[in-house]
Amino acid sequence: MRRLRRTMLYVPGNNPGMIRDVHIYGADAIMFDLEDSVSLNEKDAARSLVYHSLKTFDYGEAEILVRVNGLDTPFGREDFEAIVRAKPDAIRLPKTEKAEDVKEADELISQIEAQIGLEHGTIKMMAAIESALGVINAYQIATASERLIGIALGAEDFVTDLKTSRSADGIELLAARSQILLAARAAGIDALDTVFSDINDTEGFANEVKLIRKMGFDGKSIINPRQIEIVHQIYRPSESEITKSLRIIKAFKEAEKKGSGVISLDGKMIDKPIVERARRVLELAEAAKVVME
């Protein structure tokens, strides 16, 4: 079964306590941050802390990512050199604006993998899109490397670039969300939504999660463990969705056994897209530990 990325929890790279204990909260993915959450005078210490933590701690089944500083900064190359050697599942690229940003990172990761005897392609990447130019180039970014597992919207920098601010209904993000989602689906990779920064506004957060799930996003970047269960609950399929999906998969398998190209259920034709949606529902149900019969 493919990885689910309903929740990707940010962890500041200069917070030893949270780095040590973050796995207990149950996020699908953990992203240690060396970029925006770390001040300039703490960059080296945070890099060292994250490196040694990844080499030391067992984070269970959670997918592990590290957001590095960009290669256009004084800290980027050292981040790559250390973090590839720490062997996370993926590196998250900040402020990606064009395919060349991804290709440059890909080449550097390949060089480091070769130096340490790691199989080429072991370390994956996720690209954060945080500007108007990045949104316009979303598909080129999404297809720039086979290492890419997903692209993600970074809203705070994006709305600043647009010369606006975030609103409750999120209208200013609609075009970017749509473009990023379409690019990800066309490229066959995941799409992650941006953070919701007001951790006390649980109703607003839940409404935004419902919106991005309805749009088709695979999940959401989050900044507080309290947000995890809200996301997982909203992404959890209903009992009726699970029952219907189980019946669709059963009908599909029975048709396969008979060698029939025609699949029907309750007098209705079942085609490939419907089967794929049913599989997605069951993946989400399994991740939520829902008992399926």
Give residue limits of the domains in the chain: 7-235, 239-287
pLDDT of residue 268: 75
pLDDT of residue 176: 98
Is domain 7-235 annotated with CATH 3.20.20.60? yes
Residue 63: phi, psi to the nearest 5?
-75, 135
Sequence-distant (≥ 6) Cβ neighbours of residue 90 within 8 angstroms: 63, 64, 65, 66, 123, 124, 125, 126, 147, 149
Sequence-distant (≥ 6) Cβ neighbours of residue 241 within 8 angstroms: 281
Matching residue, tokens 């949606």: 277
Residue 89: phi, psi to the nearest 5?
-70, -35
261 confidence band (pLDDT: 50, 70, 90): low
> Which has more pLDDT, 197 or 114?
114
Which pLDDT tens digit goes with each residue over 94-130?
999 999 999 999 999 999 999 999 999 999 999 999 9
Poorest-pLDDT segment among 57-66, 218-227, 282-291: 282-291
pLDDT of residue 266: 74
Are 166 and 158 in contact by the 8 Å Cβ rule? The answer is no
Which pLDDT tens digit goes with each residue over 14-33?
999 999 999 999 999 999 99
pLDDT of residue 291: 56
Q: Please state the three-class secondary structure of 153-208 as a single string.
A: ECHHHHHHHCCCCCCCCCHHHHHHHHHHHHHHHHHCCEEEECCCCCCCCHHHHHHH
Average pLDDT score over the chain: 93
- For the chain, give the percent of residues with pLDDT over 70: 97
Position 260 pLDDT exceeds 70: no
- Judge residue 61's burial from the number of C-beta atoms within 10 Å of its C-beta, 0-12 exposed, 13-18 middle, 19 or more buried: exposed
- Judge residue 204's burial from the number of C-beta atoms within 10 Å of its C-beta, 0-12 exposed, 13-18 middle, 19 or more buried: middle
pTM tops 0.85, yes or no? yes
